[in-house]
Amino acid sequence: MWASPGLGVGERALSLTPPIVEGKLAEILASKLRDISAILEGEARTALLSPISRITPIAEVDIRTSIRPTVAVVNLGALRANAATVRKVAGRSSLWSVIKADAYGHGAVNVARALAGHTDGLAVSLVEEGLELRAARVAGPIMVLGAFYGRHHDDVVVQGLTPVVANGDDLARFSEAGARRGIPVDLHLKIDTGMSRLGLQPNELPSCLDQIRRSSTLRLAGVATHLACADGPTVEQTQEQLRRFRENLAKIRGEGFSPLMVHAANSAATLRFAEARFDAVRPGLALYGVAPSSPQEGEAPPPELRPVLSLRSRVMALRDIPAGEGVSYGWTWRARRPSRIGTLPIGYADGYPRHVQGAEVLLRGRRAPVVGAVCMDMLMLDLTDVPGASIDDEVTLIGQDGDHEITVDELAAWAGTISYEILCGISKRVPRQYVDS
């Protein structure tokens, strides 16, 4: 396992400002201090300037949370607890935590720092995601799963990212990059066993292995595949993919390539298919407290996972409307009785799905329906049956309020989508607040 030498989790947990804003604030502060120092002399000037060298581009308060009360709260303690749960299921397999897509909307840098010492490696989809982590001083192995490198093979090599390669052209480019930089390139080959998206097909494997063998810089460190149906209702498709994968592994080992890190299991396969765990597992969704599938007949229930993210806002306006009055664009909802309507400052631009049907929120320990079309920046609630509902009341859109809970899966069902899309869709304009409990 690795430990990040960068800022500790506790330090970053209070930092809620987006990087570009943080940098500007630090730059402005340092500039103002220098302006003042120009008119001071001696010890006074030294005392003023000495802290400047320690200024980091981090603001302790995100100004957005003092303007609009919409926030996503990320519990890093729950994240680590889920990592421990998945590790226990995985047994001897190493744990590579998938933090692509900004850690499924949870904030990749903060999640990476929180997992330092709790995971064997990190996995992203894009080169730029890996570079973002390195720029934030996140150490340890980082695997790039997406297998698209453009013209940035040198960046991957120099920054110590581990590329997953799916074609011979990229093998050649990584070989050249390693030679230019004088750095050996440890890479993983991706085998297409049925996803039909990326990966080497059986007829391409021999030539790619020959490329690696002839290169002075390439080293085959691992072999991977991706399972298309591990979260499905039947097991036959996954078993067939694993059979194909083992066939290709035998061919690779027969060519003298070993030892290798073999990996295939996403969250669903990690929890459901012991034979898919191989040397390493790549959980994503499970780390964030969402079960990737429901147990099928005869299967053991999945381990208990703790939701990591909650989405909250506050009532910004209240109005009483008569029966028959319409609400929101298109008047798709009309009041059947005199009703009290509350407005929240969150909409589809924040990632709350526009086309929810039958959606509810939690307020004062009760469920209240979302009514009318969700707007870009706001949505409306029917608070008629919530006694005492008031402006500034906290509203939970994902998470717990007392004995009640609205899960990511529940919101996804109302929106006719999947939990992955809900989490990844919470936009950058929603501040993330980090707690550790």
Residues labelled as active-site residues: 100, 329
What SS3 string covers 412-431? Answer: HHHHCCCHHHHHHHCCCCCC
Question: Rounded to whole angstroms, how far apart are CA atoms 185 and 202?
Answer: 23
Residue 56, Cβ density class (10 Å: 0-12 exposed, 13-18 middle, ≥19 buried): exposed
CA atoms within 13 A on the CB side of 5: 5
333-334 and 326-327 as β-strands: parallel, antiparallel, unpaired?
antiparallel
Question: Rounded to whole angstroms, how far apart are CA atoms 27 and 34?
Answer: 11
DSSP tag of 191 = B
Please name the residue ranges forming H helices in 116-229: 127-135, 153-158, 168-181, 205-214
Q: In sequence order, what are the residues at sequence separation of 6 or more whose Cβ sits closer than 8 angstroms to the Cβ of residue 350? A: 70, 377, 426, 427, 429, 430
Q: In sequence order, what are the residues at sequence separation of 6 or more whose Cβ sits closer than 8 angstroms to the Cβ of residue 106? A: 72, 74, 79, 288, 308, 309, 423, 432
Strand partners, 45: none
Cα distances (angstroms) measured from residue 226 to each of 39, 223, 279, 429: 64, 11, 14, 32
Amino acid letter, 189: L
Which tokens hold the place of 400?
A: 């717990």
Question: Rounded to whole angstroms, how far apart are CA atoms 292 and 239?
Answer: 18
Q: Which of 368, 366, 372, 364 is nearest to 390 (CA)?
A: 364
Q: In sequence order, what are the residues at sequence separation of 6 or more whose Cβ sits closer than 8 angstroms to the Cβ of residue 30? A: 52, 55
Neighbouring C-beta atoms of residue 5, cutoff 10 Å: 11
DSSP E strands, 26-111: 71-75, 94-98
